Structure 1
């Protein structure tokens, strides 16, 4: 391989190393979660709802006299959800995911998604009506309405729950809540006008969060915050960006308003969980994402068109609410059932054309094999098989370059300091022997987007969370849990915090295997003659070993498998081209050289 080709490979590898160092050492700083405001009953609604008949610059707020945390409740019990609904406002505000625990510890609590207003990390869904002509806020149900239960007191997939309330103006409101066996609620709001006069009102649904989530990652590779799908366009707004939205007079603070013509949804997404309001397909609505500065409340809202009811007339509208885990299969099934582009609620990133198929293959391999670690290794084999034609050309080209090395040295002697003559002679030499010096870099360049796409899949998708491999590796989305301090997982002792200096000093077994596999791969070829290149190549495996020590162990498993397969491929191809790689001889030479230098 000539110096130009070596420099290109070296530059690519160093660029990659710099990006990895940046990922590890300089992620965006985590913002401390703001202190939860002292929440009274007057601040549990999550922000103003604008009346259809009000002036657009007049914010209208609603109040409540009762704490939602201590209000009468209806139980929720499904195969995958447990919790309760507050009769104050008819809020879905207590929701836990039966299938997921906070940690892999045996006594870990199940994941809490929704929490009532008045407590820590309040997070809930609320439905209601905004009053129009002929009505006041006291005439429509809102956050302070105390509903009555009709029939069944427990919400299950087989038993919907109906709430009712009669307003002082003579309107009768009913709200029927149903839920499926997974994570989708359907909220059907009905109104019958018994007031004797025509009235106007607009149904809405909102999701409110009091303060930024305590467990927010604030990592740029992952989107957390508000998410809106509006007629095929996905809009993602982070927690920080929500606080910096332009002030909207009608909303009384920072807000973004998107008018959806036919299909869309709006809500909040976390790393693995999501709550989303989904109006019926074909229904226009106004999607609002906003931040209440005074009360530190984030809100997403779906406000449907105003309806006018004559005296004695009735109407109803249904809105769905997804509240649960971002499981690909479940979300895909909802998309097939009519929720437009719902799979895009998973953060596939810029390389979605790679992350989506990579995840699809990984998911089905895991279903087939039953072990995510082995599925990652199998995926690596498939990727290497697809890239094998390029890899073969690359290694054959490298072998031919080595054969041309003596002639290149003669060219250098003849050209002396004349760089132009040297370049011209080398091009003629390449052309004559049908060698492409750049082909050796193609597999390396292709590995970079594949690496980042797999990193994205492992970091973002729920299917990798708490996915076991074997032995101590029971969560492939977390860093290697082993260390010299616990005998590489043989003893039940704790290990240093991932990313800390101690964790770097007492490296785990997977990063160690990664460093060794990279080092052995280098030893297929003699060390470069240039001292600077020699030093960089000598340090690179161990630098990568420490850098990747804090990454998800599933990613390190992929990298080890990739290095092992690459070593085997390169060795066999070099042998097929008449070359005899002397791995052990190159190892001995490197140690002898170090001894001589000492």
Structure 2
């Protein structure tokens, strides 16, 4: 394998690895999970007359729909939310700090119960002794709540009463936080003890938020426990084998590109995670817990939290253990996580994510310079041998065996190892792919401006200037590399900049910016080494005379 073929191999391998990693993200097999008793299944299908703690299974409801009640609007510094009095569901969540798209001035809608194109709601409920599930009707003292200036929190209280039991479901929104407290306050005014089961679930369709064909992203369920660590569940896996897992810790959630919603039950409270297919396009993932018995005249408060917002590392780490893994870099997390840490530290100094990407690229190139210099030196040496190789090709014609023998003899005579550039390049591939996924998955780059026409590093360059520069830099690189003697290889190398430029037209500007800077530095390094090797060759020809 000569250096030209190695370059083709590396580029092809990186493309295949990226596609394979994307396919794995979208089609990862279902995890084998701990099975619980067959009498335990999804809480929301519990009949209202069933005894407390008894949960029954129900068939797929092809006519599934969300029940309507009265909307309660909530406005904070981060959210504009709609809470439904039926079940006290969080039915709609508009993120006031995030735009819908790169060219849209409207806010991003994370949760919505519109049905098409998206169904995505957060629900909770109680089961046992006719307690209020997500189908029960709550009341509220107001239909509109707004976080006041100078206040750090906003409380929204929903109430229900029946059979001597009163239940308050209390949402507490916090300033500058995407974690919402959702507490149940249960007062048993009846004459019998009750043992409620509380559940928290997220309902989502299997069609929306699926990403693009060129850059597929995962949308589906997820969960975390200390024993299982972070796991993902595709909707297809939920349909094949519903999740049933018991734990004393952890959370369940719903992932999509850049955003996550996760229910975090009370710390230390035993829980059972579950998934269920509700109809052909609607699924749910949740957690349920049997609470302690509430005696007549006694009360119980059950705290929980709902994180619903962007996958910013700081917010995720602050909210719950393991939630930071929802920023999923795949199998190269060991490289991608430190790269993001360095990138964020640089951003803290320069306050521009585009500049931070440029400086990170410089650091990576500096770190790999000893390895890459060896590769560039090998290519420069091959470039010097190109005229002699061309003469050999003309001499031996179609006799490939003699040509190969002559090439090996030439390499031995000149003390050149064409394979010496292989290992340095191969060692860099994991870092390059990790950087690719890190830049693709960082919500911090979403709508982050660089300068001039680039006002969103997560979106495509609107004028395709960076992809064109990228293509031009690849053409310059091919000119600096040794010219292939094989005409087919020569054609491939000629057309590759054009083909790759077309691909980069659809890549986020932040990714293209990285490759442009990387290529420009590589061009300078290759030019400098080519010049040095050429000077050495001339000196050798002259017998060491200057």
TM range (shorter): 0.7 to 0.9
**Partners of 2:380 and 2:115 in 1: CA distance:** 70
| DSSP 3-state at the match of 1:468 | coil
| DSSP 3-state at the match of 1:579 | helix
Match of 1:177 among 171, 182, 201: 171
* 1:117, distance to aligned residue in structure 2 (A): 7.0
Do structure 1's residue 467 and structure 2's residue 429 form an aligned pair? no
**Partners of 1:333 and 1:22 in 2: CA distance:** 32
Match of 1:344 among 314, 325, 330: 325
Mark the CA change 1:552 to 1:7 in structure 2 (over 3 Å): closer, same or farther: same
| DSSP 3-state at the match of 1:108 | strand
Aligned to 2:7: 9
Aligned to 1:233: 229
- How is 1:302-341 mapped onto 2 (pairs within 5 angstroms)? 302-334=287-319, 339-341=320-322
Aligned to 2:473: 517
Moved more, 110-119 or 81-90: 110-119
**Partners of 1:69 and 1:164 in 2: CA distance:** 17
- How is 1:55-74 mapped onto 2 (pairs within 5 angstroms)? 58-59=57-58, 69-73=68-72
* 1:545, distance to aligned residue in structure 2 (A): 1.6
Do structure 1's residue 444 and structure 2's residue 425 form an aligned pair? yes
Aligned to 1:502: none
Q: How many residues align?
A: 508
Measured against aligned partners, the alpha-carbon deviations of 1:11-30 in whole angstroms (never above 9, x if no partner) come to: 33344467789999xx999x
Mark the CA change 1:125 to 1:378 in structure 2 (over 3 Å): closer, same or farther: same
* 1:555, distance to aligned residue in structure 2 (A): 1.6
Do structure 1's residue 272 and structure 2's residue 258 form an aligned pair? yes
* 1:436, distance to aligned residue in structure 2 (A): 4.5
* 1:200, distance to aligned residue in structure 2 (A): 2.1
Measured against aligned partners, the alpha-carbon deviations of 1:40-97 in whole angstroms (never above 9, x if no partner) come to: xxxxx995248675766543999xxx98555152x42321112232222222223211
Moved more, 531-540 or 439-448: 439-448
Mark the CA change 1:299 to 1:440 in structure 2 (over 3 Å): closer, same or farther: same
**Partners of 1:18 and 1:285 in 2: CA distance:** 40
Mark the CA change 1:549 to 1:115 in structure 2 (over 3 Å): closer, same or farther: closer
**Partners of 2:158 and 2:498 in 1: CA distance:** 64
Contact 2:386-2:482 at 8 Å conserved across structures: no
**Partners of 2:247 and 2:6 in 1: CA distance:** 49
Match of 2:199 among 194, 204, 214: 204
Mark the CA change 1:9 to 1:148 in structure 2 (over 3 Å): closer, same or farther: closer
**Partners of 2:497 and 2:116 in 1: CA distance:** 49
* 1:207, distance to aligned residue in structure 2 (A): 1.8
Contact 1:47-1:299 at 8 Å conserved across structures: no
Mark the CA change 1:145 to 1:119 in structure 2 (over 3 Å): closer, same or farther: farther
Contact 1:208-1:297 at 8 Å conserved across structures: yes
- Root mean square deviation, CA, Å: 3.9
Aligned to 1:145: 136
Aligned to 1:192: 187
Measured against aligned partners, the alpha-carbon deviations of 1:537-565 in whole angstroms (never above 9, x if no partner) come to: 22222222222222222222211111110
**Partners of 2:146 and 2:293 in 1: CA distance:** 31
| DSSP 3-state at the match of 1:197 | coil
* 1:116, distance to aligned residue in structure 2 (A): 4.3
Do structure 1's residue 542 and structure 2's residue 537 form an aligned pair? no
Contact 1:152-1:161 at 8 Å conserved across structures: no
Contact 1:88-1:143 at 8 Å conserved across structures: yes
| DSSP 3-state at the match of 1:350 | helix
TM, length-normalised to structure 1: 0.74
Measured against aligned partners, the alpha-carbon deviations of 1:178-229 in whole angstroms (never above 9, x if no partner) come to: 12221111112122222222222211112223x3353432657522111111
**Partners of 1:218 and 1:53 in 2: CA distance:** 46
**Partners of 1:571 and 1:119 in 2: CA distance:** 55
Aligned to 1:260: 247
- How is 1:357-376 mapped onto 2 (pairs within 5 angstroms)? 357-376=338-357
